[in-house]
Structure 1
Amino acid sequence: MVRTVIIEDYNSDWTKDFEREKSELINILNGKIISIEHIGSTSVNGLGAKPILDIAVGVNNLEDVDKFIEPLKQIGYECRQHKEFPERRFFRKGEWRAGTHHLHFYEFESEHWNNQLLFRNYLRTHPDDLKKYHQLKKEMAEKYHFDRVSYTEAKGPFILNILKKAQKEIE
């Protein structure tokens, strides 16, 4: 099943869903992780999103993530190898191209970990850029309704621009 790109209005249940999933992950990963964060568009109040919960898990070493494959399988997560993203380990809950949860493991406080939080936190505190991003997402979802890869790539320049602005603010 290939799910089309549809941007839903913000749903406060996304935060509740994250808190439930976080509790389950803490039980499964039992002290072997440093931090769990709600990331992506579902983590930003007021931002429309594809209804997929993105969760970042910070670890000391990505090699340790191999130990989590079987425990995470027990709660519905499938490990997906993405050679083009060596800085993270990725797990999906739900069907291919129709996942409900995306679990991203990063080395805690690495550049990639920090960028996820920087982007999220910037949008949470800059309503004008949040509105622009929401509008871009809706336009790209319409343009690339059946092409998730192109939809994601089309957002890239905007995301990079936000990261530059956010970085300047913290310097």
Structure 2
Amino acid sequence: MSEIRVVDWSPGWAEQFEAVAAVLRDALAGIGSARVEHVGSTSVPGLAAKPILDIDVVVDAADVTGAVTALESVGYVHRGDLGVTGREAFYAPDEPRRHVYVCTAGTTNVRNHLAVRDVLRARDDLRDAYAAVKLALAADPAMDIETYIAGKSAVLQRVLEVSGEFTDDELAAIGRLNDATA
């Protein structure tokens, strides 16, 4: 059995996000720059995905510490940046399964997440191409997460190029990060 499980898109993901986001927004009420963004494949209607929400709490650099404290106050466990500058990761205290990050506004990482989401929401052809790659990779019973991430890299690079949001150097850096996992 494949370690990577990709399923058809579910409208329930948007509902799950809204429930989680309401708790996060309440916790972050004192941080003026905070906004809670549903990113990743579960945020794109019609896109097959691993059934795990991706949520970016985007804040100004001066508000990162306060945002980390706010999430801890509602049960999230801070995991550090996990090697990605400008992004603080958390374990969620309950269901649904999700990855939650506090991200510094304007960083390449958060711009990447938002650009991929926005392009895939707008371009059915790219959404469907991405879904096909993900489903094919997940169908391999020997698939591991590092190979899965690297296998998606080429189509994601196309999506990022279409976005027009990144310089050639930024695109190359994102590509290296994704390929480095292989």
Query: What is the TM-score normalised by the length of structure 2?
Result: 0.78
**Cα distance, 1:124 vs structure 2:** 0.7
Which position in structure 1 is the counterpart of 2:134? 137
Structure 1 residue matching 2:38: 3-state secondary structure: strand
Q: What CA deviation, in whole Å up to 9, does each residue of 1:109-154 have, x standing for no partner?
A: 3332222111111111111111110010011112365511221122
Alpha carbons of structure 1 residues 69 and 127: separation in structure 2 relative to 1, 3 Å: same
Which position in structure 2 is the counterpart of 1:53? 53
Structure 2 residue matching 1:38: 3-state secondary structure: strand
Q: Which moved more, 1:69-78 or 1:147-156?
A: 69-78
Share of identical aligned residues, percent? 29
Which position in structure 1 is the counterpart of 2:24? 25
Which position in structure 2 is the counterpart of 1:41? 41
**Cα distance, 1:64 vs structure 2:** 4.0
Which position in structure 2 is the counterpart of 1:80? 79
- 1:144, 1:151 within 8 Å by CA — same for their partners in 2? no
Which position in structure 2 is the counterpart of 1:102? 99
Unpaired runs of 5+ residues, structure 1, are: none
Following TM superposition, where does structure 1 have runs of at least 4 consecutive aligned residues deviating by more than 3 angstroms?
Answer: 63-71, 73-76
Which position in structure 2 is the counterpart of 1:13? 12
Note the aligned Cα RMSD (angstroms): 2.4
- 2:82, 2:88 within 8 Å by CA — same for their partners in 1? no
**Cα distance, 1:67 vs structure 2:** 3.9
One-letter code aligned to 1:85: V
One-letter code aligned to 1:163: L
**Cα distance, 1:155 vs structure 2:** 1.1
- Partner Cα separation in structure 1 for residue 67 and residue 103 of structure 2: 13
Q: What CA deviation, in whole Å up to 9, does each residue of 1:73-97 have, x standing for no partner?
A: 45442222344211211113269xx
Unpaired runs of 5+ residues, structure 2, are: 166-182
- 1:6, 1:145 within 8 Å by CA — same for their partners in 2? no
Which position in structure 2 is the counterpart of 1:150? 147
- How many residues of Structure 1 are paired with residues of Structure 2 in the alignment? 162
- Partner Cα separation in structure 1 for residue 149 and residue 16 of structure 2: 23
Q: What CA deviation, in whole Å up to 9, does each residue of 1:50-84 have, x standing for no partner?
A: 111101111111x6434444543454422223442
Does the alignment pair 1:165 with 2:162?
yes
Alpha carbons of structure 1 residues 136 and 70: separation in structure 2 relative to 1, 3 Å: same
Structure 1 residue matching 2:3: 3-state secondary structure: coil
